[in-house]
Amino acid sequence: MSLLALGLLPALVSGQPYDVLIRGARVVDGTGAPWFRADVAITGERIAAVGRLDGAQAKRVVEARGLVLAPGFIDIHSHALAGLRRHPDAENLVRQGVTTVLEGQDGSSPLPLRAALEEMDRLRPAVNIGFFAGHGTIRRQVMGAEMRAPSAAEMQRMKSLLRDAMSDGAFGLSTGLFYVPGNYARTEEVIELARTAAALGGMHISHIRDETAGVLASVAETIRIGEEAGLPTQVTHHKIIGKANWGRSRETLKLIEEARRRGVDVTLDAYPYTASSTGTAALFPQWSLAGGAAALKERLAAPESRAKIRAEIVRRILEDRGGGDPANVVLASCGFDRSLAGKSLADLARARGLEPTAGNAADIAIEIQVRGGCSAVYHAISEEDVERVLACRWTMVASDGGVAAPGEGAPHPRNYGAFARVLGRYVRERGLLRLEEAVWKMTGLPAQRLGLWNRGLIRPGLQADLVLFDPERVRDRATFDNPHQYAEGVEAVWVNGVETMAGGQPAGNRGGRALRGPAARR
């Protein structure tokens, strides 16, 4: 095979012009190495050449004039699927420079996976999308929401579903050990399933069992899963929730460092905000959710169990997700009443003429959950822990967000700004990370983790997923009070060689595709 066929020589050897020539960029190539000045050419869907391309011709020339050219950003923890179906242009992602998202997180994924991948093939969204296979989804299909260990036959059925998902194209196993029904699984169950993923080249990514007082044991559990199952393992959206636990990132990161020293392939990812976002069910004890909504209503109808549930919600408001104040729990979206978006539990209590106490907030939370639940934003994380986790050498950047619809609800600003916020706040303003290091955390590191060997770096022959941005201007604009604001400072984006943004505006083109993992059979 010739060097040209391998993509190691410029396409101009054949006398044909490039499709795109980006001149004079500050290339940050995704390896963490210092930036360098270069021209970068695209032919078709691949990077054709990198270097001094004086005299080269192209159908389209982009003058970078000192802007930074980086690999497209890879969001290793995303919930983009539902939004992509409605808004395949994914403007809130593309404006941040995101070109690839990984779905199927927190133990929840489409099943069977093949149908979702084929749907994305047909849709061809603005960003690439891959999937993990969700342990919780698999468990629910086999066992429902029962709080018990699986039988031998049920375990075999779960393994079979996981093997099918891996063959369809999953990149590995995701667990949501905080959520129902994943919370009902013992560690040994997850290890056994993780061994199935390991045999097919997959990784394990986990919303750990507890991000509050039990965070150390939960990180240790994730490490154990990787160590005993023999596969890469990842603590996803790592955070420390609750004032009493602030500062414990020192201990969790020490656990990860020690595990890596002894040969455990463990990493983590994080988003750059001091609030989390999940459903109002997160305020409820997991045992109360066993059996589904009808079973919860029965427990709430019984005075003794209702009192226990209410007491635990009060505790969670005061000691962990509520950050000690019902005002810290802000509803993001409620299907049964859109007017509740943006209101806190404290606001709702006052609207009823009640004091905004944790007890009154708990009663309102119970009412909300009985009506179907809402998504919410929880302000209970310290900036010091955010910075310590982001600075860790093993941390990737992720959003834990999705494709937002402008004007709908009051979502977490991470949907609009996570990647731009790292570049603007934590690189330019705070100096926490070098530019090259931050880009590596968004590109080369997650690509390596996922085995996306044809993405995540700027090299001839690799897929042309690229972002051109102004390092002095890139920033997030979305806030908790006004989340529907696009990031700024990204000038151009290419996805598989398709110009998705140009001149700082969407170009009206979509170049994304469904990505399949190591065991995929087409």
Residue 522, domain member (yes or no): no
pLDDT tens across 223-238, in order? 999 999 999 999 999 9
Residue 309, domain member (yes or no): yes
Does residue 180 surpass a pLDDT of 70?
yes
Residue 115, domain member (yes or no): no
Assess whether 143 and 231 both reside in one domain. Answer: yes
Q: What percent of the chain has pLDDT over 70?
A: 97
Nearest CA-CA partner of 358 in 391, 310, 405 = 310
CA distance 266 to 398: 16
Does residue 6 surpass a pLDDT of 50?
no
Residue 284, domain member (yes or no): yes
Among the three residues 349, 378, 407, which one is the final residue of a domain in this structure? 378
Assess whether 344 and 464 both reside in one domain. Answer: no
Tokens of 321: 């997700």
Q: Which amino acid is at 149?
A: A
Segment holding 505, helix H or strand E: strand 505-506
Assess whether 53 and 6 both reside in one domain. Answer: yes
Assess whether 144 and 253 both reside in one domain. Answer: yes
List the domain range (segments joined by +) for residue 60: 1-105+398-512
Assess whether 226 and 304 both reside in one domain. Answer: no
Residue 121, domain member (yes or no): no
Q: How many domains does the chain have?
A: 3
Tokens of 315: 């505790």
What pLDDT does residue 297 have? 96
Segment holding 42, helix H or strand E: strand 36-43
278 phi and psi, to 5 degrees?
-165, -175
- Give the pLDDT band (50/70/90) at residue 11: very low
Strand blocks (E) in 286-358: 329-333
Q: How crowded is the C-beta side of 40, counted as CA atoms within 13 Å?
A: 30
- Give the pLDDT band (50/70/90) at residue 16: confident
What pLDDT does residue 66 have? 86
Among the three residues 378, 413, 428, which one is the final residue of a domain in this structure? 378
Strand order in the sheet with 203-207: 133-134, 172-176, 203-207, 233-235, 266-270, 395-397
What CATH number is given to the structural domain containing 249?
3.20.20.140
Assess whether 267 and 137 both reside in one domain. Answer: yes
Residue 385, domain member (yes or no): no
Assess whether 79 and 165 both reside in one domain. Answer: no
- Give the pLDDT band (50/70/90) at residue 2: very low
CA–centroid distance for 33 within its chain? 25
Helix, strand or coil, per DSSP, at residue 279:
strand
CA distance 457 to 440: 9
Asked if the peptide bond before residue 112 counts as cis, ω within 30 degrees of 0, the response is yes
- What does the pLDDT average to over 64-80? 97
Among the three residues 246, 273, 300, which one is the final residue of a domain in this structure? 273
Assess whether 413 and 373 both reside in one domain. Answer: no
What CATH number is given to the structural domain containing 77?
2.30.40.10
CA distance 412 to 84: 17
Assess whether 286 and 170 both reside in one domain. Answer: no
Dihedral of the CA atoms 285, 287, 290, 295 (nearest 10)?
A: -80
Residue 118, domain member (yes or no): no
What pLDDT does residue 164 have? 98
Residue 114, domain member (yes or no): no
> What is the value of pTM for the model shown?
0.95
CB of 195 within 8 A of CB of 162? no
Nearest CA-CA partner of 443 in 481, 405, 469, 475 = 469
Sign of the C-alpha dihedral computed for residues 15, 17, 21 and 24 taken in this order: positive
Assess whether 368 and 403 both reside in one domain. Answer: no
Assess whether 427 and 354 both reside in one domain. Answer: no
Assess whether 266 and 284 both reside in one domain. Answer: no
**Count of all residues that appear for the chain in the document:** 522
